[in-house]
Chains A and B, each alone.
Chain A
Amino acid sequence: MNDTLSLILQVFRQAWVAITVVMVTIAILAMISHILRTLSASVIGAQFWVYESLASIGTVLVVIGIAFLGIPPIVSAVSTSIPNSPGCGPIAELGFFASGLIAAIVSLRMLIAFFRTIGGAALGGTAQISQAMIEASEALFGMLLAGVVIPLVGMFIGVCN
């Protein structure tokens, strides 16, 4: 079970790196595209487009900053609430497997939520930052709940005192 957990976590880590690289790539391309949009708007005299493009560039930077600087500390802090050896008896191993995966799944889910937001901002649409924060909060709440549920399940089943 430890080998399986290590293998799955390795894949999740590679997925994290891949998603962060794609986010940076999309952010760079979004900024240069909005530079083009700003330039075109200023040439034809469309002031609203200029403001909109400049705001989009700022939005992309802010969302990247929030995602890269906010997610790791939050996940690290909340993952301490997950018991390392939850339960006892037959479900101890399964609980250990689950607790190892929870932080990884929550991290990726939060990152993907911000990835969608950056995609929206890159296309010039509304950046659903609030939606990303709601999804991140849901993921964190699920993580905290799992930290409480895992020992309770063990006690309910009767394998733990």
Chain B
Amino acid sequence: MSLLISFLGLQGTIFESATNSLLYDGGGPGGTGIFEPIMTTISSIARDFWGVIIGLIIIAATLGMIFAVLRGAGGMLIGGSKETTVAVISIVGIVLLVVVGFVAVPQLAGLMKGLTPAPPF
């Protein structure tokens, strides 16, 4: 549980950095000018949506791990080593998927933001 809480704390940092700097920071070269009010609204909605998705990922990962533990415990109860092995692999896979997602997506977002071209006209 403490690990989950510390992970949530880390996610809070990732969430802030992603929303404050990656989603929208005033636009690229030249700014958005007359479209600024629209962009502010869109970025606000996008931040909220990001928070919802992150929360859902954490919930789904937690439930998935609990379910995998249940399967593993059931397998151990009846002496099924395969079920136990699958359960351990599932837990590791879920954790890896979540960590890769939380680390890779902001990095890819920074990459895409760096690729944003200036108007070619």
Residues of A at the B interface (CB closer than 8 Å) are 9-18, 20-22, 24-25, 27-29, 31-33, 35-36, 38-40, 42-43, 61, 64-65, 68-69, 71-73, 75-76, 79, 103-104, 107
Contacts and interface: CB of A to CB of B under 8 A. Distances in A.
Contacts of A104: 119, 121
B112 A43 contact: no
Given A17-B29, A21-B39, 14 more contacts: A12-B119, A13-B119, A13-B121, A14-B33, A17-B31, A21-B116, A27-B112, A39-B64, A42-B94, A43-B94, A61-B112, A68-B112, A69-B115, A107-B120
B90 to A, nearest CB: 8
B8 interface: no
Greatest chain B CB density within 10 A among A35, A72, A79 is at A35
A35 B63 CA distance: 16
B93 interface: yes
Interface of B: 18, 22-24, 27-35, 38-39, 42-43, 46, 49-50, 53-54, 56-57, 60-61, 63-64, 67-68, 90, 93-94, 97-98, 101, 105, 108-109, 112-113, 115-121
Contact of A29 (B46, B56, B93, B116): B46
A42 B105 contact: no
25 contacts: A10-B33, A11-B33, A11-B34, A14-B34, A17-B32, A21-B32, A21-B39, A24-B23, A25-B46, A27-B112, A28-B108, A29-B46, A35-B57, A35-B97, A36-B60, A38-B97, A39-B98, A43-B67, A43-B90, A64-B112, A68-B112, A71-B117, A71-B120, A72-B117, A104-B119
Contacts of B50: 28-29, 32
A43 B27 contact: no
Contacts of A20: 28, 116-117
B115 A65 contact: yes
B60 A43 contact: yes
Contact of B57 (A12, A25, A32, A61): A32
Closest 5 CB pairs of A and B: A14-B33, A43-B64, A35-B101, A72-B120, A18-B35
A32 B94 CA distance: 15
Contacts of B67: 43
B30 A22 contact: no
Contacts of B23: 24-25, 28
A76 B117 CA distance: 12
B107 to A, nearest CB: 11
A14 B97 contact: no
Contacts of A69: 115, 117
